[in-house]
Amino acid sequence: MTAYVIRRVLTGLLILVLLSMLTFLLFNALPADPAALTCGKNCTPQVIEANRIRLGLDLPLWQQYIEFVKGLFVGRTYGSGTATFACAAPCLGYSFRRGQEVTPLILDALPVTIYLAVGAFVLWTVVGVLLGIFAALRRGRWQEKATLGAALVGYSFPSFFIGLLLLFFVVIRWRLLPYPSYVPPQDNPVQFFQTMILPWITLALIFAAFYIRLTRNQMLETLGEDYIRTARSKGLAEHTVIRKHALRAGLTPIVTAAGLDLAGLLGGAIIVESVFTLPGLGRLAINAVVDADLPVIVATVLVAGSFIVIANIIVDLLYAVIDPRVRLS
Amino acid sequence: MTETYVRVEDLKVSFKTEDGIVRAVDGVSFGVDRGKTLAVVGESGSGKSVTAQALMGLVNKRNAQVEGSAWVGDNELISSSDDDLRKLRGSMMSMIFQDPFASLHPFYRIGAQLAEAIRVHRSMSKAEAREEVLTMLRRVGIPNPERRIDDYPHQLSGGMRQRVMIAMALINGPSLLIADEPTTALDVTVQAQIMELLAELQEQYNTAIILITHDLGVVADVADEVAVMYAGRLVERGSLDDIFYSPEMPYTVGLLSSVPRLDAVSERLTPIPGQPPSLINLAAGCVFYPRCTASSRVPGDRCATERPDLLQVTPTHAVRCHLDQEQREQFANESLAAVTGAEGGAA
């Protein structure tokens, strides 16, 4: 088991290193010249060259990468002579467009995205898994068909459509909620919830629809297993068979899916954040793309990727806790 | 008829499907006493497993209809409520299954799975249950039970797992054990060990066993009585000697001549031609008629138009066939002689 944990963590770290290299390469492969982008209105080739040197973009690629990694762990300094400025670790780079370090940008946006993702995650896993179990237990009856039908509708609508629909009716037409305007929960919890409730619902609807189907299929498959028949033939009550024998096995794959979906959202829910103007990672990323703000793009990709890698490790470890067969192999 | 301990009378199980009603079991009757073994034999799809599951109350009542009656001692199973049936399952009657690899829950230690079987029927502390589990594991021949009790199923071999299943089935001392192809998934050497174990435990617990199998070799070793099923119907029923030495129904004869035998003269086995019929919209007439090579001996087209009744030919032996007794014996002798040489057939 310990060896398994160590192996998983090491491979995770390796993937992170590869990910950072890849995003860094990608950043340099783009046709835009970052030095030119830093140049203001009165741009001359001399200014561009000066900026290139100031930002370290004149160095060979491998050296730039080492500088980048160094910045991540110990911080780095840009420029030379009087024009130097320090970027403390973890330094994710410097946004030429905004004239700002990237790390604080990410740190500002991250909590918003975490609140959004975790809130939606709780909603959709509870609703999706419960309805999925319900559908499986009512197999072949109208309740199953109604649940699956509703899931299909939820699944078919794109999130921006559901988001705009909710925004239009709940906020504009019926005036049930004020127009969303993000504040941190510690500043104004009421306004925080008023702002977050619609994004949570929007995001949760899409995922819940998927989880209903996933859970139902998993449960039906598990309920057909021989060991469920064994449990019944022991004389266990049906609710014990479901709760103790079927759920334990049937929900295991859902842990995987849920962990990875949550991690994916932590990298930013671009559409929902944009619809509800939430200043999260998704919106930061999309703005960076629009502005060709390359360091910010690299940083958001790296952060999002790290979440996925970490979630993968956690999910694998959880799996080993749940399923004893995984521990040995 | 004497009061046998387990009595199944005119059991019918039908399933509603989109294609129509499947009569999986149609009017099956048999009995078995405590300490005795009844073998139910037949091809896949002959309704033998469904019969077992109907007795255990394991068929889904939502799409299956179960009729008839089945008694285990003083308990009538078919009319029992779900909850009464549940209380009998695992205590008075229990079941072991074909595939010991899939029949144990992969996430729980075997000790926990066995203890659960005890504690669902008897109030007992966890420590006491564990003691009893250890005793039971020892009894079914698991070496080192103190260590094995905390193993997960995947850490055990197939034979060991089936021993665990047997321990689980017998841990509450049931008076009826249904074994649904208990050795099919196991190695031949392990098969014999498992059957031996079952016979030993049957003696200890005085259990009635219904052994569902298509392995006639196993039947010959352990059965006291044999019921042959075909297309959901009982086509022949009798003592072990009745079935093996004087089979009368052409299907039974066909089964016996399709099994390799050490005393065979002929190198070739004689398979039964054709496939079992679909159980939806069965044609009138004998269910075996389309594959029966003896039907031409019956005058007229009775085999095609009229369902034969189960005919009691001796106090122990019943046959469902339109041939008269002389024709049946003659057909059996001819068919088996072709496989085993001249001395085959009626012994």
Residue A152's CATH number: 1.10.3720.10
Q: Please name the member of A233, A240, A249 whose beta carbon is closest to the beta carbon of B95.
A: A233
Domain count, chain A: 1
Kindly give, in sequence order, each residue whose CB lies less than 8 Å from that of residue B294, ignoring residues fewer than 6 positions away.
B250, B323, B327, B328, B331
Q: Is A137 on the interface with B (CB under 8 A)?
A: no
B347 close to B239: Cβ distance less than 8 angstroms? no
A47: how many CB neighbours lie within 10 A of its CB? 15
- Tell me the pairing of strands B93-96 and A76-78: unpaired
Q: Which residues of B touch A237 (CB under 8 A)?
A: 86, 120
Lookup: tokens for A258: 């849920």
Q: Which of A273, A282, A266, A157 is nearest to A210 (CA)?
A: A157
Q: Is A248 on the interface with B (CB under 8 A)?
A: yes
pLDDT at B288: 92
The Cα of B10 is separated from the nearest Cα of chain A by a number of Å equal to 23
pLDDT at B130: 96
Cβ pair B104:A236 closer than 8 A: no
d(CA A302, CA B149): 48
Q: What are phi and psi of B212, to 5 degrees?
A: -100, 125
Question: What is the domain range of residue B138?
Answer: 103-171
Q: Is A322 on the interface with B (CB under 8 A)?
A: yes
As a dihedral over the C-alpha atoms of residue A25, residue A29, residue A30, residue A32, rounded to 10 degrees, the angle is 110
Pick from B105, B110, B118, B161 the residue to mutate for testing the A interface (most A CBs within 10 Å).
B105
What are the DSSP calls for A126-174, one per residue?
Answer: HHHHHHHHHHHHTTTSHHHHHHHHHHHHHHHS-HHHHHHHHIIIIIIIS
pLDDT at A266: 87
Q: Which residues of A touch B99 (CB under 8 A)?
A: 226
pLDDT at B262: 66
What are the DSSP calls for B124-167, one per residue?
Answer: --HHHHHHHHHHHHHHTT-SSHHHHTT--GGGS-HHHHHHHHHH
Q: Quick one: angle between helices B126-139 and B158-170, nearest 10?
A: 120
Cβ pair B89:A235 closer than 8 A: yes
pLDDT in tens, A247-299: 989 988 898 899 999 998 988 788 999 999 999 999 999 998 888 788 888 89
Q: Is B212 inside a domain boundary?
A: no
d(CA A286, CA A271): 9
Q: Is A38 inside a domain boundary?
A: no
pLDDT truncated to tens, each residue of chain A (329 aa)? 788 888 888 988 898 889 888 888 877 777 777 777 767 677 788 888 887 887 777 888 888 888 888 888 888 888 766 667 788 878 888 887 788 889 999 999 999 999 999 999 999 999 999 999 999 999 888 999 999 999 988 888 888 899 999 999 999 999 888 888 899 999 999 999 999 999 999 999 989 999 999 999 999 999 999 999 999 999 999 999 999 999 989 988 898 899 999 998 988 788 999 999 999 999 999 998 888 788 888 899 889 988 998 898 888 888 888 888 877 65
Q: Is B19 inside a domain boundary?
A: no
Q: Is A61 inside a domain boundary?
A: no
Pick from B108, B122, B168, B171 the residue to mutate for testing the A interface (most A CBs within 10 Å).
B108
The radius of gyration of chain A from alpha carbons, rounded to an integer in Å, stands at 24
H/E stretch holding B327 reads helix B325-340
Q: Which residues of B touch A236 (CB under 8 A)?
A: 86, 90, 116, 120
Q: Is B272 inside a domain boundary?
A: yes
Cβ pair A230:B104 closer than 8 A: yes
Question: Which portions of chain B are predicted below pLDDT 70?
Answer: 1-2, 261-268, 340-347
The Cα of B117 is separated from the nearest Cα of chain A by a number of Å equal to 6
Q: Which residues of B touch A140 (CB under 8 A)?
A: 62-63
Q: What is the pTM of this model?
A: 0.83
Q: Which residues of B sit within 8 Å Cβ distance of A?
A: 56, 58, 62-63, 86-91, 94-95, 97, 99, 102-107, 116-117, 120-121, 152, 154-155, 165, 168-169
Cβ pair B107:A324 closer than 8 A: yes
The Cα of A250 is separated from the nearest Cα of chain B by a number of Å equal to 11
Q: Which residues of A touch B105 (CB under 8 A)?
A: 227, 230-231, 245, 248-249
Q: Which of B16, B11, B53, B49 is nearest to B31 (CA)?
A: B11
Exposure string over B287-324, b if 16+ CB within 10 A, otherwise e: bbbbbbebbebbeeebbeeebbebbebeeebbbbbbbe
pLDDT at A146: 94
Lookup: tokens for B199: 């016979």
pLDDT in tens, B194-210: 999 999 999 999 999 99
Q: Which residues of A touch B62 (CB under 8 A)?
A: 140
Q: Which residue of B has its CA nearest to A246?
A: B105
Question: What is the domain range of residue A244?
Answer: 103-281
Q: Which residues of B touch A248 (CB under 8 A)?
A: 105, 107
Q: Is A296 inside a domain boundary?
A: no
Q: Is A226 on the interface with B (CB under 8 A)?
A: yes
Q: Which residue of A has its CA nearest to B99?
A: A226
Q: Which residue of B has its CA nearest to A323?
A: B107
Q: Please name the member of B121, B154, B168 whose beta carbon is closest to the beta carbon of A325.
A: B154
Residue A99 — left, alpha, or beta (φ > 0 → left; ψ -120 to 50 → alpha)?
A: left
pLDDT at B6: 95
Q: Is A303 inside a domain boundary?
A: no
- Tell me the pairing of strands B233-239 and B318-320: antiparallel
Q: Is B160 inside a domain boundary?
A: yes
Q: How many helices (H) and strands (E) does chain A have?
A: 16, 4
Q: Is A214 inside a domain boundary?
A: yes
Q: Is A326 inside a domain boundary?
A: no
Q: Is B135 inside a domain boundary?
A: yes
B40 close to B51: Cβ distance less than 8 angstroms? yes
Cβ pair A235:B103 closer than 8 A: no
Q: Which of A272, A120, A113 is nearest to A210 (CA)?
A: A120
d(CA B110, CA B242): 41
Choosing from B131, B148, B171, the residue where a domain stops is B171
Domain count, chain B: 2
Choosing from B154, B171, B188, the residue where a domain stops is B171
Q: Which residues of A touch B89 (CB under 8 A)?
A: 232-235
Q: Which residues of B touch A250 (CB under 8 A)?
A: none
What are the DSSP calls for B248-270, one per residue?
Answer: -SHHHHHHHHTS--TT-SSSS--
A103 close to A302: Cβ distance less than 8 angstroms? no
ipTM confidence score = 0.87
Q: Is B258 inside a domain boundary?
A: yes
Q: Is A208 inside a domain boundary?
A: yes
Q: Is A193 inside a domain boundary?
A: yes
B106 close to A246: Cβ distance less than 8 angstroms? no
Q: Is B75 inside a domain boundary?
A: no
As a dihedral over the C-alpha atoms of residue B63, residue B68, residue B74, residue B79, rounded to 10 degrees, the angle is 40
